[in-house]
């Protein structure tokens, strides 16, 4: 089984992450330093590359921006919930349905915290070329956990000692008031309705991001990046305190 990866950065990261397990790389015909660099990279990894027409790539991409590059990469490995017990931070997504938001959230999770991303298999954006493209290649390095029931998974993590914090604009306490150096699950709601009632009930507390009051919510990927940064800030502060 293989999956389609589109875009220069995405193909580059697929080659870096999977080396010879990439089946082949397709590159648009013509002169391009970036595509020539991918061709050399594929050759170094013993991956076959082919030059094809833009029309061929357009048909494969089905509307997703490909920048003249595509690859057939191995399926992404999925972790089991039991493998997260020692993680300091987990990012959980409650029915996030926009593949572009999903991909951007994964990029932030990888870049800021190297945090696993947990989501329910139903009513969520699928792992798709559009989602991979929006992650700008970060999906190749992500720790992914797909579960049948998000509520059940959060309950299990809470029983293991995680504080499960749901991001909610109406929460009484701000995220920075919580001790994020403890094992933490940050739960992000969907683009339209936020956290579902059942998911709120599965959290140990609700937290809001500090805002001016002009708006009560942010784009899901923006909210995720801010929350992840606050986690990182507290981790760095704790490390600096220990080293003094």
Strands (E), the chain: 2-6, 24-28, 48-52, 69-74, 89-93, 117-120, 144-147, 163-167, 184-188, 205-207
Pair 29, 59 in one domain: yes
Q: How many domains does the chain have?
A: 2
The CATH number assigned to the domain holding 164 equals 3.40.1280.10
Positions in the chain whose pLDDT score sits under 70: 1, 213-217, 242-244
The H helix count followed by the E strand count for the chain is 8, 10
Pair 25, 109 in one domain: no
Pair 33, 118 in one domain: no
Domain of residue 205: give its range.
81-243
Burial (CB count within 10 angstroms: exposed 0-12, middle 13-18, buried 19+), residue 44: exposed
Burial (CB count within 10 angstroms: exposed 0-12, middle 13-18, buried 19+), residue 236: exposed
The Cα 94–Cα 10 span in angstroms is 25
- Looking at residue 241, its pLDDT comes to 72
The Cα 71–Cα 4 span in angstroms is 6
Pair 135, 213 in one domain: yes
Pair 181, 212 in one domain: yes
pTM recorded for the entire structure? 0.91
Pair 99, 12 in one domain: no
Token digits for 9?
Answer: 């950065």
Burial (CB count within 10 angstroms: exposed 0-12, middle 13-18, buried 19+), residue 97: middle
74, 101, 120: which is the final residue of a domain? 74
- The DSSP secondary-structure symbol of 94 reads S
Q: CA of 136: how far to CAs of 146, 170, 227, in Å? A: 21, 32, 20
């Amino acid at each position: 089984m293989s999956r389609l990866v589109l875009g220069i950065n995405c193909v580059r990261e697929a080659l870096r992450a999977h080396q010879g397990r990439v089946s082949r790389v397709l590159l648009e015909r013509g002169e391009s330093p970036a595509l020539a660099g991918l061709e050399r990279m594929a050759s170094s990894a013993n991956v076959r590359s082919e030059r094809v027409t833009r029309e061929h790539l357009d048909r494969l991409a089905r509307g997703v921006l490909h920048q003249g590059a595509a690859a057939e990469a191995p399926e992404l490995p999925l972790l089991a919930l039991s493998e997260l017990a020692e993680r300091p931070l987990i990012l959980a997504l409650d029915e996030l349905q926009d593949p572009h938001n999903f991909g951007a959230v994964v990029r932030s999770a990888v870049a800021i915290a190297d945090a696993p991303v947990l989501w329910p298999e139903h009513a969520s954006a699928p792992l798709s070329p559009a989602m991979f493209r929006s992650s700008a290649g970060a999906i190749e390095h992500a720790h992914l956990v797909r579960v049948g029931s998000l509520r059940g998974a959060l309950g299990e993590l809470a029983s293991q000692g995680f504080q499960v914090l749901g991001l909610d604009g109406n929460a009484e306490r701000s995220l920075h008031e919580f001790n994020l150096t403890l094992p933490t699950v940050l739960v992000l709601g969907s683009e339209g309705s936020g956290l579902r009632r059942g998911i709120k009930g599965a959290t140990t507390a609700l937290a809001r991001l500090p805002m001016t009051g002009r708006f009560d919510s942010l784009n899901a990927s923006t909210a995720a990046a801010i929350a992840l940064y606050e986690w990182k800030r507290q981790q760095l502060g704790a490390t600096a305190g220990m080293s003094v």
